[in-house]
Amino acid sequence: MAMEGYRGFLGLLVSALLVGFLSVIFVLIWVLHFREGLGWDGGALEFNWHPVLAVTGFVFIQGIAIIVYRLPWTWKCSKLLMKSIHAGLNAVAAILAIISVVAVFEYHNVRKIPHMYSLHSWVGLTALILYIQQLVVGFFVFLLPWAPLSLRAIIMPIHVYSGLLLFGTVIATVLMGVTEKLFFVLLSAYPMHAVLLEDRRGRKTHHSFPPEGVFTNTLGLLILVFGALIFWIVTRPQWKRPREPGSIPLQLNGGGNADGMEGAVAISSAHSMDPADAELSSEGAARKRTLGLADNGQRSTM
């Protein structure tokens, strides 16, 4: 299906994928080269799964899940299939995020380190709980066919907003985590960096940019750029999945009728189609009744 500004989209998509892959490579190099490596021993090797799984699942896979509806070569696929892929990727991201948190809790237990004392942990665990809630709500309201269209119309804007907010919060959490971990390890690994702390207390000085610090800062920047690219791709209205029926005969996506039409028409067309595919037009209908043309505004962040 034709897409407007297809080259621009492709360029940004490839950039996002590259930067995302690079972030995963960087976090792997971090734990394998600069740190102790990976393992499930209740020690440092186990802790190191935390950054790896957080960046791979909670940042990279979540980012891809967010833009999956935007891939033009999926526009011929049924909406139900795309929803399943969207939900599936988010589920994988959630599972990896949960394992990454388990790794830290086990590590803390073995080392008898108190849990949840850092801002990173407060924000991170809150984000994970809300992310799982978002996944469950999305599954029952949008993927299962039983939710009334009116409910979908109410939940969709919240779903879109929460999704983007959680993605941004997760990235902020990762940046805090990188900051935190770097301080811990550099204090033990680089005495001259510890002297930086003493400087804060006015003692003698040392100028040093430990290579690991520069490396992890670069990782942080890569994750930030990845987030910025996903945010741009997902907020371009011209790159939204179109509402026209796809080329698959069995797909009954009447959403195309909702655009720029009376709410009543959209609703009636909505009732005549597969409920699993209908929330867009019912959304359009509901919002047209209340917001005039604002429908596009909402979908622009889908």
The interface with a copy of itself within residues 13-52 (CB under 8 A) comprises 43
Q: Please, which of residues 176-205 interact with a copy of itself by CB under 8 A?
A: 176, 178-180, 182-185, 187-188, 196-197, 199-202, 205
- Smallest gap from residue 279 Cβ to a copy of itself (A): 17
- Please give the residues from 158 up to 177 whose contact with a copy of itself meets the rule CB under 8 A: 161, 164-165, 168-169, 171-172, 175-176
Position among 235, 247, 248, 262 found at the interface with a copy of itself (CB under 8 A): 235
CA dihedral 287, 290, 293, 297 (to 10 degrees): -50
Spell out, one character per residue from 74 to 113, where the chain touches a copy of itself: x when CB under 8 A holds, - when not: -------------------------------------xxx
Give 268 or 301: the residue with its C-beta nearer to a copy of itself. Answer: 301
Determine if 270 is a binding residue for a copy of itself (CB under 8 A): no
Question: Could you give the CA distance from residue 14 to residue 10 in angstroms, rounded to a whole number?
Answer: 6
Assess 64 for contact with a copy of itself (CB under 8 A).
no
Would you count residue 257 as binding a copy of itself (CB under 8 A)?
A: no
**Of these, 2, 7, 73, 114, which contacts a copy of itself (CB under 8 A)?**
114
